[in-house]
Amino acid sequence: MDKPLMAKATAVWLVDNTTLSFSQIAAFCGMHELEVQGIADGDVAAGVKGFDPIANNQLDPVEIERGQKDPAYRLKLKFNAAAVGEEKRRGPRYTPLSKRQDRPAAILWLVKFHPELSDGQVGKLVGTTKPTIQSIRERTHWNIANIQPIDPVALGLCRQSELDMAVQQAARRKAAEGTVMTDDERRKLVSTEQSLGMAPEPKIPSAIAGLENFTLGEKEERPQDYSDADSFFNLPHGDDDEDDED
């Protein structure tokens, strides 16, 4: 969905200058309704100056009037030919400095759990170069001994939807090439929602499985049965008793 320029500042202006509902503002600005409510409460976007979408030719005043009369109405963004394709990412993904040290761990996770992904797909997901991916894939990276695989989604390097899309593209590519996939590969190639609905994998029997039917051998000593009174009172004497007799 197309969003207005400076979406958060636009939401601030709409909250301050209109009676539109939080859901209407959230839908128009591409935000969550609770985030818009936080703007109204002063908990979100504190100090952000409102950005007038009408003065900046992004919204017609008629749209606001319709929205204020009908809470179910959704505002329509004015068409701007100069903004067409502006949100399309160009070049490699920018990774903040604070997260660049996490990229090797994310690359190792993708290489380990999704080997079907190409180097180009991995580089696009986490914003890295092919030589770095190749060094981790071949385990020639200078710090490979200290790198632990971590999900790039958990690290905030990519979205789950982006990872699922890349995995599905890899699945279609393998199907087009006619490559036979194992059951484990098929499980990895499905989306998160599909994998959650799959039946659990059979568990490998543990080393103690079947010991409940184990019988003691001939050389194993069985414990004596003291269930009857006579055998209980005829217990063998210890060393202390022998000393007393002496």
Question: Is there a domain that residue 79 lies in?
Answer: yes
In this structure, the answer to whether residues 109 and 150 fall within a common structural domain is yes
Q: Which of 83, 116, 139 is the last residue of a domain?
A: 83
In this structure, the answer to whether residues 79 and 97 fall within a common structural domain is no
Residues sharing a CB contact under 8 Å with residue 64, sequence separation 6 or more, in sequence order: 18, 20, 54, 75
Question: Is there a domain that residue 245 lies in?
Answer: no
Count of domains forming the chain: 2
In this structure, the answer to whether residues 104 and 172 fall within a common structural domain is yes
Instruction: State pLDDT tens for residues 58-117.
Output: 888 899 999 999 989 999 888 765 555 544 554 556 666 667 788 999 999 999 999 889
In angstroms, rounded to a whole number, what is the distance separating the alpha carbons of residues 105 and 145? 11
In this structure, the answer to whether residues 190 and 141 fall within a common structural domain is yes
Structure tokens at 5: 């320029």
Question: Is there a domain that residue 223 lies in?
Answer: no
Q: Which residue has the tokens 């194993």?
A: 220
Which domain, by its residues, includes 47? 7-83
In this structure, the answer to whether residues 79 and 113 fall within a common structural domain is no
Instruction: State pLDDT tens for residues 4-56.
Output: 878 888 999 999 999 999 999 999 988 888 888 888 888 877 778 888 888 88
Question: Is there a domain that residue 151 lies in?
Answer: yes
Structure tokens at 27: 């839908």
In this structure, the answer to whether residues 71 and 104 fall within a common structural domain is no
Residues sharing a CB contact under 8 Å with residue 181, sequence separation 6 or more, in sequence order: 174, 189
Would you call 210 exposed, middle or buried from its count of C-beta atoms within 10 A (0-12, 13-18, 19+)? Answer: exposed
